[in-house]
Structure 1
C-alpha cells in the first residue's frame, strides 16, 4: 500500500502528514487519524497502513505542527522524565478546541479534495488525546464527518467543564463509537453515562463501551498495549465504517 508524505494547509500554517492509500483501484472513503499525545511517528504510520488495508485512505496529521520541528517523544519516558513531561504537556495545552476544530476542517477538506478519496464526508478515529480530538472535531465541523471513533480517550464528558466535547453533541452529524479503558479516571462509568445522555438527547447514533484493558491498549508502542484488544478495535472500526462511512459516499 502506498504511503505518501503530504503537506496539509491549515489556517495557521502547514501540517506535515502521512497519507496511506489502499492497493487497487479507488476512489475510497477517507479517514483522519488523530494520534495520541506522542504525535505522528512510525507507530501511527503503521496504524494508517492498517486502515488502508481495510479499504480507506488514511491521513495521519502532525497535530503539533505549530511547534515546528519538534523532537519525537519516547513513550517509555515521556511521562516519567520531568523535562519531557513538561514539554509534552506544553504541546498538548496548545490544542484548544478552536484549534482542533479549525485543523480538523482543514484535514477533512484535504482528504475530500484528493483524487483517491470519494464522498462528501470522512471518518475519524483517535487515541488517548486523539480520541478527544475526534469527538471535538465531530462537534465542530458537522456534515464533513460521517463516523467518529474514539479509543481510550479522557476528558470527553466532564461535568462543569465548558470545553468538554459532550456539550457540542447537538452539533454532531456523525455516528459515534467510543471505547473506554478500565481504571481510567479520565473516562469513568459516570463520564460514560453523561456522554450517553448528551448523545441520546441530541439524537446521535452511538455506541459506548469499555474494553478490559488499560489506557493505551490499541497503540503498539504504548506500555498497556494489548494485541487482542487492538484486534478487537480494528474489527470495531471495520464494522463501524462499513455501516456508517461506506454508505455516506
Structure 2
C-alpha cells in the first residue's frame, strides 16, 4: 500500500478489483481497474513504472477507489514479447529493455483510448487525473499538453521527461512534478530542463530531500516513506479539487 489507510478498512473491502480490456487501434490492451459501487469521483489513470502492474501499482489503484475514484492502470507493455510483471530484484535490465522498445506515439494513442474508456465509466464524474510513475512521467506531461482531455496530471520521479519536451509546450491543466534529490535516473541537467519548463508554466516542481529514484514504491529498495507521503498528499489534494 502507498501508505496505511487509517479508517479506510471498510472502503477497501468494498473495492472491486478486476482485470479489464481497453479497445485500441488494432487490439485489446489489458488493464487493472479498481472501483467501488458508491464512487462518483474522478477517474484516475495510472501509468506504471517499468515493472508493470505489480502489487504497488494495484495498491495505488485500490486506495484511489476506496477514496471514491475509478482507477485504471493499463499495461502499456502488452504488445511486447516480455509483457508481464517484472521485479526490481531480478528483472531491471529486462524492464529497461522493454521500455526502450515502446513506440511512444502508439502508446500515446492507447493512453488516449484508456482515458476515454475511464471517462465513460458510470462511476466516473467525467473528470480524469493522470498519475505517471517513473516510465509514466513523460506521459503525464504530454497528456497535459497534447489534448488528451486530462484535468490534472502528476509525474512521480519521471524518467527522461526532457526527451519528450517540445518547444512552446503549454499544459491545458494543472501539472505537478515530484523528484527525489538523489534520483540516479534524473541527473542535474535533466532536473534543470524539467524545472525550467515547469517554472515557465507555473507548474509545481518539488525536489524531496533524501529521496532517490522510485521513492514512491513501498516494495522498491529506494522507497522513502516521508517523501512518498508528501508526494501522495499533494496528488490527493489535486484529485480532491475534481471530486465535486
The TM tier, using the shorter chain, reads 0.7 to 0.9
Partner of 2:23: 9
- Give 3-state SS (helix, strand or coil) of 1:17's partner: strand
- Give 3-state SS (helix, strand or coil) of 2:31's partner: strand
- Answering whether residue 179 of structure 2 is matched by residue 165 of structure 1, we say no
8 Å contact kept, 2:45–2:128: yes
Deviation at 1:143, TM superposition (A): 5.4
Relative to 1, partners in 2 of residues 1:143 and 1:36: Cα closer, same or farther, differing over 3 Å?
Answer: closer
- Give 3-state SS (helix, strand or coil) of 2:98's partner: helix
Q: Distance in 2 between matches of 1:12 and 1:132?
A: 23
Q: Distance in 2 between matches of 1:8 and 1:223?
A: 32
Deviation at 1:92, TM superposition (A): 0.6
Relative to 1, partners in 2 of residues 1:12 and 1:88: Cα closer, same or farther, differing over 3 Å?
Answer: farther
Relative to 1, partners in 2 of residues 1:95 and 1:174: Cα closer, same or farther, differing over 3 Å?
Answer: farther
- Give 3-state SS (helix, strand or coil) of 2:50's partner: coil
Q: Distance in 2 between matches of 1:68 and 1:114?
A: 30
- Answering whether residue 140 of structure 2 is matched by residue 134 of structure 1, we say yes
| More helix as a share of residues | 1
Relative to 1, partners in 2 of residues 1:99 and 1:139: Cα closer, same or farther, differing over 3 Å?
Answer: farther
Q: Distance in 2 between matches of 1:186 and 1:167?
A: 20
Q: Which of residues 9, 16, 19 in structure 1 aligns to 2:33?
A: 19
- Answering whether residue 144 of structure 2 is matched by residue 147 of structure 1, we say no
- Give 3-state SS (helix, strand or coil) of 1:89's partner: helix
Q: TM-score, normalised by structure 1?
A: 0.83
Relative to 1, partners in 2 of residues 1:23 and 1:188: Cα closer, same or farther, differing over 3 Å?
Answer: farther
Q: Which runs of 5+ in 2 are unaligned?
A: 1-14
Cα RMSD (Å): 2.2
- Answering whether residue 107 of structure 2 is matched by residue 100 of structure 1, we say yes
Deviation at 1:190, TM superposition (A): 4.1
Q: Which of residues 110, 118, 125 in structure 2 aligns to 1:118?
A: 125
- Give 3-state SS (helix, strand or coil) of 1:67's partner: coil
Q: Distance in 2 between matches of 1:93 and 1:36?
A: 13
Listed one character per residue, the Cα deviations across residues 32-63 of structure 1 (whole Å, up to 9, x for unaligned) are: 00110000122211111111223211101111
Q: TM-score, normalised by structure 2?
A: 0.84
Task: State how many pairs are aligned.
Answer: 229
- Give 3-state SS (helix, strand or coil) of 1:239's partner: helix
- After alignment, is 222-231 or 104-113 more displaced? 222-231
Partner of 1:239: 237
